[in-house]
Amino acid sequence: MTNNYFDIKGEILDIALKRTQERITMIESALETARDSSNDDTKSSAGDKYETSREMIQQDINRYQKQLLEANKDLQQLISIESLQNDVMDVARLGTLVQTNVGLYLIATSIGAVKIGANNIFVISPASPIGQLLIEKKIGDSFVFNNVNQKVIAIY
């Protein structure tokens, strides 16, 4: 049974890596489009309108650059987790798959629920509210999230 959970963990990491790489590609495309718009925006006789338009485009570029930076951080984090995926851990931390009496949680980057076979796994960030509750928990530890008592059953 344990190997099954390590296999599930590997599949989830593959999905998370793929989704993160797709997110990076989409952000890069949007950033390129915004930069092209900025370069193509020619000054018209309405100077204030031109300045407002350029400022809005610059804000878009800044937002996409920030999103790209965060997505690349997520990608690096997932790559580091992938290298540790078969390590046996006795405490919940970044990279662990935690089984509770309520569900399965992979502490990685926040991509939401992933279905592998009959299992719904919540891929969460350690900075998320539930991630913060899970960090440093051991098998047998309990916690309350959204008024639901949960107990850690296993850590992979």
Do 75 and 23 share a structural domain? yes
Last residue of a domain, one of 62, 83, 104: 83
The reported pLDDT for the residue numbered 46 is 52
Map residue 76 onto helix, strand or coil.
Answer: helix
Tell me the mean pLDDT in the region 73-78: 93
Model confidence at 45, in pLDDT bands (50, 70, 90)?
Answer: very low
Total tally of structural domains belonging to the chain: 2
Question: The pTM is what?
Answer: 0.78
More confident residue, 89 or 42: 89
Residue 106, beta-bridge partner list: 97, 123
Residues 149 and 108 in one domain: yes
Residue 80's pLDDT band (cuts 50, 70, 90): confident
More confident residue, 103 or 47: 103
If asked whether residues 34 and 99 sit together in one domain, one would say: no
At 18-34, the pLDDT tens digits run 999 999 999 999 999 99
Considering 47, 66, 83, which residue would you say is the last residue of a domain? 83
Find the mean pLDDT for residues 49-60: 80
pLDDT at 82: 79
- Residue 144: helix, strand or coil by DSSP? strand
pLDDT above 80: residue 38: no
Round to whole Å and give the CA distance between 130 and 146.
Answer: 9
Residue 42 CA: distances (Å) to CA of 46, 49, 64: 11, 11, 22
pLDDT digits (tens, 9 = 90+) for 85-138: 666 778 999 999 999 999 999 999 999 999 998 889 999 999 999 999 999 999
Domain end, chosen from 83, 114, 135, is at 83
The mean pLDDT of the chain is 88
Binning the chain into helix, strand and coil, the percentages to the nearest 5 are 50, 20, 25
Residue that the structure tokens 């690349």 belong to = 72
- Residue-range definition of the domain harbouring residue 134: 91-155
Average pLDDT of the segment spanning 39-64 = 74
